[in-house]
């Protein structure tokens, strides 16, 4: 019984999580940086993608189309460079859940839509499918890994903390 109790704690304390967490953070950050590029450049097209899901009140579509890409940009940079990396992972996880729910609803409703994730244009490129849910779900799992197991994320916070400890 004692071995079963200590095995998870030994796993959680494994020092390799910092390196695996760094790889997961860089991957997630690059994904979100790539996702925000066309949305920042063409918020009007992104607004059409959001509106096509018919999930939000029309009054919120433009606000979301203008602000969400910048939140993606900030979260992507934060998680890559390691500034409040776990907070950035939480923010990305919340965004992913917010993406997965309307995506699943659209799939159940049989809508033929563009994901709106990486390519502009309603239904033209990046069509939604079950694989889109799997992809977003796998990114959510990576976020949870960073949140739960990357207790000392490598990055600027780590480096600045080390310097303060030495001086």
Q: What is the DSSP annotation of 93-140? A: HHHHHHHHHHHHHHHHHT---B--SSS-STTTSSB--HHHHHHHHHHH
Least confident of 59-68, 74-83, 99-108, 121-130: 121-130
Structure tokens that stand for 71 in this block? 């939140």
Residue carrying the six token digits 């990055």: 155
* pLDDT value at residue 120: 60
Q: Return the higher-pLDDT residue of 17 and 71.
A: 71
Q: What share of the chain is helix, strand, coil (3-state, %, to 5)?
A: 75, 0, 25
* pLDDT value at residue 162: 59
Distance CA 107, CA 111 (A): 6
Distance CA 79, CA 85 (A): 5
Q: Are 142 and 24 in contact (CB under 8 A)?
A: yes
* pLDDT value at residue 125: 67
* pLDDT value at residue 122: 46
Q: Rounded mean pLDDT of 89-105? A: 97
Torsional sign, CA 115, 119, 121, 126? negative
* pLDDT value at residue 167: 46
Distance CA 24, CA 27 (A): 5
* pLDDT value at residue 155: 81
Q: Return the higher-pLDDT residue of 167 and 93.
A: 93
Q: What residues contact residue 145 under an 8 Å CB cut-off, 6+ apart? A: 20, 21, 24
* pLDDT value at residue 82: 92
Give the tens place of pLDDT for each residue, 110-163. Answer: 998 888 888 665 445 678 999 999 999 999 999 999 998 887 777 887 778 755
| 127: β partners | 114
Q: Would you list the domain boundaries of the chain?
A: 53-151
Q: Rounded mean pLDDT of 5-14? A: 67
Give the tens place of pLDDT for each residue, 16-65. Answer: 788 899 999 999 999 999 999 999 999 999 999 999 999 999 999 999 99
Backbone angles phi, psi at 77, to 5 degrees: -65, -45
């Amino acid at each position: 019984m004692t071995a079963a109790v200590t095995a998870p704690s030994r796993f959680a304390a494994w020092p390799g999580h910092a390196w695996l967490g760094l790889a997961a953070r860089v991957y997630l950050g690059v994904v979100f940086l790539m996702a925000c590029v066309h949305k920042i450049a063409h918020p009007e097209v992104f607004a059409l993608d959001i509106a096509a899901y018919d999930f939000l009140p029309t009054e919120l579509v433009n606000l979301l189309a203008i602000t969400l890409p910048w939140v993606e940009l900030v979260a992507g940079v934060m998680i890559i460079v390691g500034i409040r990396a776990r907070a950035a992972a939480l923010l990305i996880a919340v965004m992913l859940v917010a993406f997965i729910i309307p995506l699943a609803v659209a799939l159940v409703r049989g809508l033929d839509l563009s994901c709106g994730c990486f390519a502009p244009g309603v239904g033209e490129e990046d069509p939604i499918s079950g694989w889109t849910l799997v992809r977003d779900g796998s990114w959510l799992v990576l976020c949870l890994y960073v949140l739960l197991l990357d207790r000392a994320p490598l990055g600027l916070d780590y480096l600045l903390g080390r310097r303060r400890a030495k001086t």
